[in-house]
Amino acid sequence: MNVPHHLPVRPTTDRAKESLFNILSNRMSFEQQEVLDLFTGTGNMAIEFASRGCKQVTVVDQHIGCIRFIEKTIQAWDIPNINTVRSEVEQYLKKCSKSYDVIFADPPYNMPDKVSIHKLVMGNELLNKDGFLILEHKRGEDYSELSGFYESRNYGDVNFSIFRS
């Protein structure tokens, strides 16, 4: 995937992505899962979920360039199970009436209040029973005191805090 240089993205490293999917594959079956990918950027994670057989993947990003890039990619690769939504993530979560099996959030590392994502997902019951919220963040941030905390994983500068419903 050749990502245009003008997009404001920081794709999850291949090592971290592979490790996360190894963890998830030991805890769930991807088939028939519905996934929400927040701050999707290039759609890298969404494409991985879709390629593993997830029923539906919804991607949300406010940057029109990111949405256009993803739409071109899913059309070129004929990936019918990804839907794109152009929206600010917190606004989307406030209005969302659907629940998901997996919600992956990769907010900008300099976002001051990443806890708001957790609060909106958990407070609005956007995870199905036994669902996962995965929050990607930089080293040194600790979310273990938040409700539903399950585990954290560190891969260099990429860190995941995983929550269960």
51: left (phi over 0), alpha (psi -120 to 50) or beta: alpha
- Residue-wise pLDDT tens digits, 3-24: 555 555 556 777 888 989 999 9
Looking at the domain assignment, is residue 75 inside a domain?
yes
For 17-126, list the strands marked E by DSSP.
34-38, 56-61, 82-86, 100-105
- Residue-wise pLDDT tens digits, 130-149: 999 999 999 999 999 999 99
Q: Residue 74: give its domain's CATH number.
A: 3.40.50.150
Range of the domain at 66: 30-83
CA-to-CA dists, residue 64 to 1, 36, 70, 74, angstroms? 18, 18, 10, 15
For 94-142, list the strands marked E by DSSP.
100-105, 127-137
pLDDT of the residue at 13: 73
Sheet order of strands, 56-61 included: 82-86, 56-61, 34-38, 100-105, 127-137, 158-164, 149-155
Looking at the domain assignment, is residue 52 inside a domain?
yes
Looking at the domain assignment, is residue 136 inside a domain?
no
- Residue-wise pLDDT tens digits, 51-106: 999 999 999 999 999 999 999 999 999 999 999 999 999 999 999 999 999 999 99
CB neighbourhood size of 6 (10 A): 8
CA-to-CA dists, residue 37 to 13, 105, 143, 145, angstroms? 16, 6, 19, 23
Residue given tokens 């600790």 in the structure block = 142
Q: How many domains does the chain have?
A: 1
pTM of the model: 0.92
